[in-house]
């Protein structure tokens, strides 16, 4: 039903799928306040990414592990620029594809492919647990990495299972570019100008506290989060909040850890009180 969030100001910190999340909220009538946690750029040196794509075509992968939808989209962008998009999609089609959560699966469907399996937990540990049940001995395994994470433990575990791991990092974060917007968002929460903050990854919660510490506004952040209901997409985000002494006031039903169920949960919870602007 449209307009279920009419008049409510929702702060979102989504970076990789900001446009989609914002659109889904706006369709429900929400006034969306966008504050991406990072600016995303292509890898500064395109040569390793190009070489990885060409290897995937020349020596098709047995397995492909996608950790983010953004990563696949960046790889496709490079393949298109090189004029080998169709060859690359054909090579990926023959691989057994594993997705870290639902977002890589959506990116695969954009190019007409499907993941063979999706992790129960959208974490690197979830990937390791899922692949531990599969015989990878002698397999060429492509691993798409994401920034700001040490993936050494995951790579070591996959190699210990006998996989020949070929990793690629197709994009980087520019965190400082977003700091000013994050500080502004913190102040808006502290002033009671936001009806809810929606968190869709554990990194968003960590980043809030990192920026607050760097800019001397930790007290204002906690003040704002006390006033603002926190909506968490799932248990990984909620666990991160707990580590900071916080809890999610809103979350989707168990197992429905996606954007649409999160929006439905926000609509149900927030409807109990009028928007702050109307009080």
Please indicate, yes or no, whether residues 51 and 156 belong to a single structural domain of this protein.
yes
Q: Is 59 domain-assigned?
A: yes
Report which of residues 175 and 2 the model is more confident about: 175
- 69 and 146 fall within a common domain: yes
Q: What is the mean pLDDT of residues 253-273?
A: 90
Residue 161 within a domain = yes
Residue 14: per-residue pLDDT: 74
Residue 126 lies in a domain: yes
Residue 261 lies in a domain: yes
Angle at 62 between CA 59 and CA 67, to 5 degrees: 105
pLDDT tens digits, 82-97? 999 999 999 999 999 9
Q: 198 φ, ψ to 5°?
A: -105, 120
Number of domains, the chain:
2
Residues 96 and 130 in one domain: yes
Residues 110 and 163 in one domain: yes
Does residue 251 register a pLDDT over 60?
yes
Does residue 49 sit in the same domain as residue 169? yes
Q: Are residues 145 and 195 in the same domain?
A: no
pLDDT tens for each residue of 26-74: 999 999 999 987 778 999 999 999 999 999 999 999 999 999 999 999 9
4 within some domain: no
Verify that 239 and 257 share a domain, yes or no: yes
d(CA 16, CA 240) in angstroms, rounded, equals 19
Residues 204 and 269 in one domain: yes
Q: Which letter does DSSP use for residue 53 in this model? A: H
pLDDT tens digit sequence for 190-249 = 999 999 999 998 888 998 999 999 999 999 999 999 999 999 999 989 999 999 999 999
- Mean confidence (pLDDT) of the chain: 92
Residue 255 pLDDT exceeds 90: no
Please tell me the distance from the alpha carbon of residue 202 to that of residue 238, in angstroms, as a whole number: 8
Same domain, 134 and 233: no
The β-bridge relationship of strands 63-66 and 96-99 is parallel
How many whole angstroms separate alpha carbon 254 and alpha carbon 126? Answer: 17
Is the per-residue pLDDT at 15 higher than 70? no
Percentage of the chain with pLDDT > 70?
A: 96
Three-class SS of 60-129? CCCEEEECCHHHHHHHHHHHHHHCCHHHHHHHHHCCEEEECCHHHHHHHHHCCCCCCEECCCCCHHHHHH
Q: Does 3 reside within a domain?
A: no
> 2 pLDDT band (50/70/90 cuts)?
low
pLDDT-wise least confident of 4-8, 18-22, 260-264: 18-22
More confidently predicted of 23 and 91: 91
The yes-or-no verdict on residue 148 having pLDDT over 80 is no
Q: Are residues 33 and 62 in the same domain?
A: no
Strand 31-34 versus strand 9-12 pairing type = parallel
Pairing of the two strands 171-174 and 39-42:
antiparallel
Q: Is residue 151 part of a domain?
A: yes
Per-residue confidence band for 270, with pLDDT thresholds at 50, 70 and 90: very high
pLDDT of residue 209: 95
Mean pLDDT calculated for residue range 163-177: 90
Question: Is the pLDDT reported for residue 1 higher than 70?
Answer: no
Asked if residue 136 has pLDDT above 70, the reply is yes
Q: Does position 16 have pLDDT exceeding 70, yes or no?
A: no
Looking at the fold, whether 158 and 186 belong to one and the same domain comes out as no
The two structure tokens encoding residue 244: 């900071």
Comparison of pLDDT for 61 and 174, the residue scoring more:
61
Q: What is the CATH number of the domain that holds 104?
A: 3.40.50.10090
- Domain of 72 in residue numbering reads as 41-173
Share of the chain above pLDDT 90, in %: 76
DSSP 168-230: E--EEEE-GGGHHHHHHHHHHHHTT--SEEEE-SHHHHHHHHHHHHHTT-HHHHHHHHHHSPE
Q: Are residues 47 and 139 in the same domain?
A: yes
Boundary of a domain, candidates 127, 142, 173: 173
Examine residue 1 and state whether it is found in any structural domain, yes or no: no
Choose the final residue of a domain: 111, 138, 173.
Answer: 173
Residue pair 11/197 in contact by the 8 Å Cβ criterion: yes
User: Which of 146, 173, 200 delimits the end of a domain?
Assistant: 173
Task: Using pLDDT thresholds of 50, 70 and 90, give the confidence band for residue 105.
Answer: very high
Interhelix angle 202-214/235-243, nearest 10 degrees: 30
């Amino acid at each position: 039903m449209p307009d279920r969030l009419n008049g409510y100001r929702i702060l979102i910190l989504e970076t990789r799928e900001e446009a989609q999340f914002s659109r889904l909220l706006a369709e429900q009538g929400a006034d969306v306040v966008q504050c991406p946690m990072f600016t995303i750029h292509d890898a500064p040196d395109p040569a390793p990414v190009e070489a990885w794509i060409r290897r995937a075509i020349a020596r098709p992968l047995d397995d492909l592990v996608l950790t983010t939808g953004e990563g696949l989209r960046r790889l496709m962008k490079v393949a298109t620029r090189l004029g080998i998009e169709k060859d690359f999609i054909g090579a990926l089609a023959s691989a057994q594809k594993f997705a870290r959560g639902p977002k890589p699966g959506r990116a695969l469907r954009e190019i007409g492919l499907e993941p063979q399996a999706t992790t129960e937990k959208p974490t690197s540990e979830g990937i390791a647990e899922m692949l531990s049940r599969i015989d990878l001995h002698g397999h060429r395994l492509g691993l798409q990495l994401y920034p700001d994470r040490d993936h050494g433990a995951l790579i070591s575990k996959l190699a210990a299972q006998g996989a020949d791991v070929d990793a690629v990092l197709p994009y980087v974060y520019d965190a400082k570019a977003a700091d000013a917007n994050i500080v502004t968002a913190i102040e808006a929460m502290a002033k009671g100008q936001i009806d809810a903050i929606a968190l869709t990854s554990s990194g968003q919660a960590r980043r809030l506290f990192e920026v607050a510490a760097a800019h001397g506004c930790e007290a204002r952040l906690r003040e704002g989060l006390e006033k603002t209901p926190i909506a968490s997409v799932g248990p990984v985000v909620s666990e991160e909040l707990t580590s900071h002494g916080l809890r999610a006031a809103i979350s989707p039903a168990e197992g429905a850890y996606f954007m649409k169920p999160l929006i439905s949960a926000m609509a149900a919870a927030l409807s109990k009180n009028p928007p702050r602007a109307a009080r």
